[in-house]
Structure 1
Amino acid sequence: MTSIPDPVEGPGASPAVPGAPPPQLVRSPLSDGEWHRLHPLTPLLRGGLFLIVVIGIVFANLRDRLVFIFLPWLAPDIEDEVGEWEGAGGDPIDFIIANNLYVLAGLAVLAALIVLVAVFYTSWRFHTFRITDDDVEVRSGILFRTQRRAPLDRVQGVNLTRPMIARLLGMAKLEVVGAGADANVKLEYLSTANAEAVRADILRLASGRRLSAAGPAGALAPPRAGRVATLSQTVGREITGLIEGPEAPVTELESVVHIPVGRLVASHILSMSTLGLLFAIVAIVIGVSQGVTWLLFGFVPAIIGFGAYWVRSIVRSLRYAIAPTPDGVRITFGLFTTITEIVPPGRVHAVEVTQPIMWRPAGWWTVRINRLTGRSAADGSTDQFTTALPVGTAADVERVLRLLQPGLPDDERALVVQEGMFGPGETDTFTNTPRRAWWIRPLSYRRNGFRLTPDALLMRRGIVWRKLVILPLARLQSIGLYQGPLDRASRVTNVRAHVVAGPVSPFLAAVDRDSALALFDGVARGSVRAAFTDRTHRWAQEETSAPEPADLVRGAESAPAGASESAASGTGEDRT
C-alpha cells in the first residue's frame, strides 16, 4: 500500500506548489493547489444522521419497554405485558432485563458509538481534495484508497446542492460534472461561502480566461468569530434564507423567467398522469361499492405514492430561476433542498420544446435538454438536471432559448417560435412529410418536418404532443437514415440524429428520400463548419494564431462528400 502524505490544512497558497492555479485567477483559499479537508461537520451529515435514524427506530420499537423501565408510573398496566415478553425468552432485551445487565448493555452501546464516531472521523481525515490549474482531484478511503480527477477542460457544469439540514448548518455540496458516466467529482460538504467561491474558481479556470482578464486575488474568508456564535448566526441566516432565497448575489440577479405558483400547480393537474389517477380513484370507488374490497388495498398505496411524488415534483420546481452569468446559464430550483447548476457554454447537446395537448388552451410549454450529467443511468436524480423550463409561455421559451442557444440569430429564433412551435402556417420553411406518405403519420404529416440552418438542425413533429427539437451542429455526434420496406415503397426514409443520452429523442419519420439525402450531405458539411468554428470548450479564452476557420471550411466544402463526412471531428454519418 502506498503511503500518502498528510494533507495540508492551512488556508494559505504557496506560489511554489507545482500545478497551483495562478493567484490572479482564484478567490478561495481552498483553490491553491494544496490538499484540503472538507467541512468538519461533514461526518455529522454523512454518518451522524444515519445514527439518529437507527436510534429513532430502536426507541420506537422499544417504547413500551423503556416506559416500563424508566417511567413505570405512566403505564401501570404494562407490567403484565412485560412479564409475558420476559417469559417468552430468546429476546436479547429480555435477557438483559432478567439478568440486570443494564450497565453492561449501556457500556456496549457506548463502545459501539465510539467506534462508529472514530470511523467517521478517520474517514473525514483521509477525505481530501485539491484544485490545480488542470483538474479537480479527490482522495478518499481508509483501507482502500480512491483517487478521482475531473479535468477542467472537460467540465460540463458545476452544481451546488444545499439539503435542508445542511442549509441550516451553512453547508453545501459541490459537484463537478464530468464528461462520462459516473464521472462526477463531489465535494460534500463545504461551507456555503467556500462552496460558492470554489465553484467560481473552477468555472474561471475551466473557461481559459487569461491572467490579464482576472481581477485582484484574494477574497478570503472573513475573520473568524467564536464557533458557537458563528453556528447560531448561520442557522438564523439560513432559516431566513428558506423564505427569502438562499443564493448570494451573482452577476445577474433577475431571472429571465418567473413561474407563478398557481401555474406550476395547474400544470401538474393538467397532465395525463392526473387523468390516470382520477380513473383509478373512480375504479376504486365503483369496485368498493360493488364489494370488491381488494381494490382498496391494492390501489390506495399506489395513489398515496403518486400523491407524494406529485407534491415532491411541485416543491422541487418552486423558486425556479434561470439567468445568464459570465460562465454560462445559471438554473436554480427547489424549496427545501436548493440546487443551483451552472451550465457552461456549449454543454447543451439537444433542446426540446414540448406542449402536451392539455396545456394548449393555456399556451404553456416545457423545455428539456440533453447534456452530460456525469451520473449513471440508474441515478433517479438525473431528470432534475435535464429540465430547463418546467412550464412557461411562448415568450418564456424564447427567453430560455436565447440563453441555451445564444448563437441563433434573432430572425432564426423568431422562426423557431412561429414555425417550429406553432407551425405550419401560411408560409412554412420546413420540409414536411410528402402527401403520398400521409398514412405513416395520418394526424401529423403536415407538421412532421425539418429545417437545416447554418448552426442547427430543427425537427418538428407531433399533433397531440407538439415537439420541436433543436440540435446544435457543433454538438452532433452522427446522423443516420433508416428505411424499411414500407418506407421504400413510399419513397420516404427515417432520420435519426445521434447525441448524448437524455430525454430528447431526435427522430423524424416519413421524410422524403431525396430531401433526406440532401439533409444528410448538408449536415455533414455543416458539422465540419461548426466543429472548426466552435470555441466553447474554452469560452473565455482569447483567439490564438490557429488556422482560419473559413479556410478550413472552404477546403472541406471543396472536397468530395465522403471526404468531408469522414473529416468531421467527432461526427460520423450512416446510411442504412
Structure 2
Amino acid sequence: MDSPTPGPAPVYRAPREWTRLHPVSPLIGGWAVFGVVASIALYNYAPSWTGPDPGIQEAAHWLWHSVLWVVVGAVILVGLAMGFGYLQWRVSEYRLSDVAVEHRKGILFKQHKQARLDRIQAIDVVQPLLARIFGFASLKIEVAGGENSGIALEYLRLGDAEAMRNELLALAAGVKRAKAEGREATVDAVLTADAVAGADAAVTPGDGSAIPGDGSATLGDTSPGEPGDQAAYASAASLRDLTRGMPRGVAETAAAPEREVFALELGRLLLSIVLSWPFLWICSLPVWIGVAVWIFPVDINQVVAAAGASLFTVVPVVFGLLGYFWSRLTTGYGFRAAISEDGIRLRHGLLETRRQTVPPGRVQAVQLQQSLLWRRKDWWRVTINVAGYQDDQEAVSTLLPVGTRQEALTALWLVLPDLGDPDPAGTVSLALSGTGAEGGFTAATTRARLFDPLQWRHRGVRATDRALLIRRGWLVRDVFVVPHERTQSLGLEQGPLQKARGVATFTVHSTNGPVRPVAQHLDLADAVALMEAQAVRAAEGRRRQTPEQWMTAVGVKEEQ
C-alpha cells in the first residue's frame, strides 16, 4: 500500500486582514481562576483549624466542606470566566497594515491600538506553562510611549507568533532605514530579500570586532544578496514563492541569523542561589531558634502553639523568600545570549519561556554586581535598563544572571562594543575591583568617612570617550556603566550634613528599571565639574551614535 502523499507545507505569515486570535485563548487564560478560588478558600477557612490543638473531627469537617465549596466555586467562576473570555475573543482582532500593527478589542468599552512600525522597540515571544504545553505563545510588542502603550496578542500558535515576530523585526528595520534615507516605505516594499536568504546563511567569522575573551571569534557578514535597491527591498509575492517546498511549519519571513555568545549552566545557577544571603538566612534560622530556646527558658509547647496560631503571619514571609529563589531560578534557567542584526537575543525561562530581542541602542544603563559570597569564584550578575518596556521591566532586566568576570565583560561588550578607552578590559577590571583613584577614577573625598566609614574608599567615578563608569560597594560591589548618548538627565543633591562637609551626590537619571546610577559623597567641586562635563558628553554622544554603528562594532554588517 502506497504511503499517503504529504499535503502542502503550511507557511506561517502575518495576517494583512483583520484576524481573530486562536480560539483556545479563553481556555489558556482562564486557568488562573482556580488559583483565585483556592486562595479565597484558604484565607476564609484555614484559620479555624490552624490554631493550637485542633481536633481530628473538626479538621475532617473543615476539609470536606472546603473541598466542596472550592469545587462548586471553581465550576461557577470558571464557567463565567470562559463565557466572558469567549465574548472577548469574538471582539478581539489584529492585523498588520502598511504602517502599523493594529489590535482592537473590548465588549462594553472598545479599544483600538496601533503600534507604528517605526516606533517598535522590542518584540517578545512569551510562553506560559499551559501555552507551552499545547504549542501556543503570547506576542508582546513594545513601542516608544507611556504606560500600557504596547500590544499583547494572547494567544497565537507558536508558528504564527514566530512568523509575526520575524516579519515585524524585518519591517521595522526597513521602515526606519527607508525613513532615514528619505524614502517612502510600504509593507511589500520593505520586506528584504536577505530576510529570507538569512535562513540558509551561515554566520561565519569575519572582520568585525572580537568578542572579549574569544581571541578570534567574531560575527561576520551573512551571505550577500544582489546589489541594488531592488534586491534590498523584494516584494511579498517573491517571498511567498521562495517558501514553496519548505518543511512543515516554516515562517514566511525567516529570522535573521545569529551567533550565540554565552549560555548559563544549570549547576552554576543553582550554586549561585545557594551562595546568596537569603538562602543562608533561611538555613541558619533553625540554629537561631535553637539558640534562643536554649538561652531563654521557654516552654517548647508554647513555641509550637504560637507558631501554629501565627501560621498566616509567617506564610507571606515564607512565600516572599521562596518567590525570590523562584525568580532567580526561572530567570536564569536555560539562559542564552546571542547577537544578530536585530540586536541582542535572549532566551530563558523554566515554566514560562521568553524569547526577547533587545534592539541596539535601547539599553540605557548597565549594572555589574558581585556579593561577598561570589567573590571567591569571581562571579558577577549583569542587569540593564531597557527603554520601551514600560509594563514588564523586571522580566527583561537581566543580561547575565551569573557569570565569570570574562562573561560579564562580554555582556557589557554586547551593549557597549566601544568603551572609548585604549584598554577597555583593564579599565573595567579596575572599576570592578579597584579602590581610591586607581585607573583614573575620581574617588570620594576623605570627608565622606563620616557618612560612609566602610565604603568610601570603594566609591569613584570616571568618564571615557563613550561612557560614564560609577563604582561603589564593599560587601556588595556595584559598577554602573551609562553610555553618554543614553543619559536622560543629571542631578546634584546635597543634604544638610553633606553641605557642612562640602560633599554632594551626583545622579544620572535613566529610564524605568532596576539600575539607578548614583555617585555618592563626591567632593562638591568634583561633582559640579562632573555634571557640567557629562552634559556636554551626552549631547555629543547623541549626535554621533546610531544603531548601524553598533552593528559595525559587533561585526554585524547590514547589506544595503
- The reply to whether TM is greater than 0.5 is yes
Aligned pairs for 1:388-427 (under 5 A) are 388-409=399-420, 411=422, 413-424=424-435, 427=438
1:57-456 → structure 2 map (5 Å cutoff) = 119-179=84-144, 180-207=146-173, 208-210=176-178, 211=190, 212=229, 213-214=232-233, 217=236, 218=239, 251-254=257-260, 256-285=261-290, 290=298, 291=300, 292-294=303-305, 296-297=307-308, 298=310, 301=315, 302-303=317-318, 306-307=321-322, 309-311=324-326, 313-372=328-387, 374-376=389-391, 382-409=393-420, 411=422, 413-424=424-435, 427-456=438-467
CA shift for structure 1 position 46: 2.3
Q: 1:117 to 1:304 in 2, by over 3 A?
A: closer
1:30 and 2:14 matched: yes
Matched, 1:41 2:7: no
| Aligned-partner Cα distance in 1 for 2:155–2:354 | 14
**Aligned residue type for 1:42:** S
Larger CA deviation: 507-516 vs 352-361? 507-516
Q: State whether residues 288 and 296 of structure 1, in contact with CA within 8 Å, keep that contact through their aligned partners in structure 2.
A: no
The Cα shift of 1:278 comes to 2.6
Unaligned runs of 5+ in 1: 1-26, 59-80, 93-104, 225-232, 235-247, 542-576
Q: Is the 8 A contact 2:437 2:460 kept in 1?
A: no
User: RMSD of aligned C-alpha atoms?
Assistant: 4.0
**What are the within-5 Å matches in structure 2 for residues 522-541 of structure 1?**
522-536=533-547
Describe the SS at the equivalent of 2:440. Answer: coil
Measured in 2, the distance between the counterparts of 1:276 and 1:251 equals: 45
- Most deviating of 490-499 and 302-311: 302-311
By how many angstroms is 1:482 displaced? 1.7
What is the CA distance between 1:521 and its match in structure 2? 1.7
Tell me the alpha carbon deviations over residues 511-568 of structure 1, each in whole angstroms, 9 at most, x when there is no partner: 1222222212211111111122233499899xxxxxxxxxxxxxxxxxxxxxxxxxxx
CA contact (8 A) 1:182 1:374 kept: no
The whole-number CA distance in structure 1 between the counterparts of 2:36 and 2:397 is 35
Deviations 1:39-92 (A, max 9, x none): 232222123x3677799999xxxxxxxxxxxxxxxxxxxxxx99xx99xxxx99
Q: What residue identity is the alignment partner of 2:528?
A: L
Name the counterpart of 2:502: 491
Does the Cα contact within 8 Å between 1:346 and 1:537 map onto a contact in 2?
no
Asked if the contact 2:259–2:339 (Cα under 8 Å) also holds between the matched residues in 1, the reply is: no
Change over 3 Å in CA distance of 1:486–1:326 after alignment to 2: same
**Counterpart residue identity of residue 273, structure 1:** P
The structural deviation recorded for 1:193 is 1.4
User: Per the alignment, in what secondary structure is the counterpart of residue 446 of structure 1?
Assistant: helix
Could you tell me which runs of 5 or more consecutive residues in structure 2 were left unpaired when the two chains were aligned: 1-10, 41-59, 179-189, 191-228, 553-560
Secondary structure of the 1:156 match is strand
1:98 is matched with which residue? none
Deviates most, 120-129 or 206-215: 206-215
Amino acid at match of 1:478: S
TM-score after normalising by structure 1: 0.68
Counterpart Cα distance in 2 of 1:367 and 1:468: 10
Is the partner of 1:388 in helix, strand or coil?
Answer: strand
- Residue 188 of structure 1: how far off its partner (Å): 0.9
Distance 2:116 2:335 in 1: 30
Q: 1:216 to 1:279 in 2, by over 3 A?
A: same
Q: Is the 8 A contact 2:436 2:457 kept in 1?
A: no
Q: Aligned partner of 1:183: which letter?
A: S
CA displacement, residues 470-504 of structure 1 (integer Å, 9 cap, x when unaligned): 11221211111222333333332210111112211
Q: How far apart in 2 are the matches of 1:422 and 1:215?
A: 52
Aligned equivalent of 2:528 = 517
Farther off after superposition, 421-430 or 136-145: 421-430
Q: CA deviation at 1:357?
A: 1.1
Q: Which amino acid aligns with 1:474?
A: E
Change over 3 Å in CA distance of 1:320–1:270 after alignment to 2: same
Check conservation: 1:29, 1:220, Cα contact below 8 A.
no
Deviation at residue 365 of structure 1 after TM alignment: 0.5
Hey, which bits of structure 1, 4+ residues long, moved more than 6 A?
A: 51-58, 220-224, 537-541
Aligned 8 A contact 1:155 1:206 in 2: yes
Instruction: Give CA deviations for 1:10-42 in whole Å, capped at 9, x if unaligned.
Output: xxxxxxxxxxxxxxxxx963253x322212322
Counterpart contact for 2:390–2:512, Cα < 8 Å: no
Matched, 1:507 2:513: no
Residues 29 and 540 of structure 1: CA distance in aligned 2, closer, same or farther (over 3 Å): farther
SS of 2:532's equivalent in the other structure is helix
1:43 partner amino acid: P
In 2, the alpha carbon distance for the partners of 1:539 and 1:456 equals 14
Is contact 1:28-1:201 (8 Å) kept? Answer: no
| Residue 436 of structure 1: how far off its partner (Å) | 3.9
User: How many residue pairs align between the two structures?
Assistant: 447
Q: Check conservation: 1:28, 1:220, Cα contact below 8 A.
A: no
Summarize the Cα distance change of 1:486–1:122 in structure 2 as closer, same or farther, 3 Å threshold.
Answer: closer
Query: How has the CA–CA distance of structure 1 residues 361 and 188 changed in structure 2, closer, same or farther, with 3 Å as cutoff?
Result: same
| Cα distance change on mapping 1:357 and 1:119 into 2, 3 Å | closer
Distance 1:253 1:336, change over 3 A: farther
Distance 2:327 2:493 in 1: 41
Q: Is the 8 A contact 1:497 1:507 kept in 2?
A: yes
Q: CA deviation at 1:195?
A: 0.9
Q: Which amino acid aligns with 1:205?
A: L
Provide the rounded CA distance (Å) in 1 between the counterparts of 2:388 and 2:443: 33
CA contact (8 A) 1:333 1:339 kept: yes
- 1:286 Cα deviation after fit: 5.1
**Offset of residue 288 of structure 1:** 6.9
**Distance in 1 separating the partners of 2:108 and 2:20:** 18
Farther-moved stretch of structure 1 (405-414 vs 448-457): 405-414
| Change in 2 beyond 3 A, CA 1:512/1:270 | same
Contact 1:178–1:372 (CA under 8 A) maintained in structure 2: no
Q: Distance in 2 between matches of 1:258 and 1:161?
A: 19
Aligned-residue offset at 1:170: 1.8
